[in-house]
Every structure is written in C-alpha cells, then in structure tokens.
Amino acid sequence: MALDDLKSALPDCAKDLKLNLGSVIGNSELPKQQLWGTVLACAIASRSGIVLRALEPEAKENLSDEAYAAAKSAAAIMAMNNVFYRTRHLLSDPEYGTLRAGLRMNVIGNPGVEKTDFELWSLAVSAINGCGQCLDSHEQVLRKAGVDRETIQEAFKIAAVVQAVGTTLDAEAELSA
C-alpha cells in the first residue's frame, strides 16, 4: 500500500488526517534521509501493521541500507528507553533517578548514520511513546548540534500524524471485522 493508498483507506471522519499525511510526508522540507528515517521509525513505533506495511517499502527505497537499519534501531532502542525513563520519571520516589540504568544502549553512541538524524528519529519515537524525559534529552542534543526548532517540530508532526493514521486505520479494521 503506497502513501496514496494509505490516504484513501482513511474514512471520511479522518479527512484532516488525509490532508496532514500528504502534507507532512509529501511536502516535507526535511532531507530525504531525515524524512524517511522518521517515517519508518514512527511507523514501527505506531504498532500499526497497516501503516508499517504501507510506508516501509517507500522508506526502504529512499534510505541507504545503513539509514534503514538505523531507523529501525532508533525505534527498537526507544521502545525500551521510553518505558524505562518514563517510568523513572513518573515514580514519586526520586531515588530511582540516581540508580544506574544497567541497560545496553550502544546504538545511540554509534548508530551508523549522522548523529543528528538518529537523534531526530529517536525524538519522534519518543513523542509517540510519550516520554518527556527522552523528548527533552533528544531535543537538547539536536539544539546543541544546531538543528532548528522547525526541523524538530517537523519530526514530531510526522510522529503525530503517523500515530493518528495507525490508530484510525486499526480501529476501522476492527470495526469492519
């Protein structure tokens, strides 16, 4: 299912999502690698098979093998980190924040692509997973690297739309089953 097929699969009640999907992906000003890495990482993080099957082929076509693997790695490592850091942040006992994490996160230090691209993808996945601590951390790294707020917002706009499309299409599939 291509992007147009994904848009046409959306019900009439999600007209805004159709328009936004075309806008955030089809009219994005992000460089190709940043765009399609964000799209792939967010499609994975959305947990929607419909969305992942629709967007993965075009992402694979637009990414190098290294960038494709790194975007998948960003989704994987943030699936773990977002739960871990969000939980530590939400617990009322601040002592958890002083304990050593003890989790391997080597891919963050050596993702195989530009660090800013990986950080952008990690931020987008963190937006979907709702981890404020991870969002702040990745945003600060991106800002220190000179990435502007508009670029960062572009990534979490993609996250918001991809997540909403996945939720909507998965609900429609369940309702028609």
Q: Which residues are catalytic?
A: 131, 134
Alpha-carbon dihedral sign for residues 17, 20, 21, 22:
positive
From residue 116, how far is each of 75, 145, 146 by CA, in Å? 15, 7, 9
Place of tokens 């080597």: 106
Contact 9, 169 (CB under 8 A): yes
Residue that has been written with the tokens 């992007």 in this structure: 3
For the chain, the distance separating the N- and C-terminal CA atoms, rounded to the nearest angstrom, is 19
On whether the CB atoms of residues 146 and 153 are closer than 8 A, the answer is no
Q: Which two tokens stand for residue 8?
A: 């046409």
Nearest-angstrom CA–CA distance, 63 and 12: 32
CA–CA gap between residue 17 and residue 11 (Å, rounded): 9
| Residue 6: its H or E element | helix 3-9
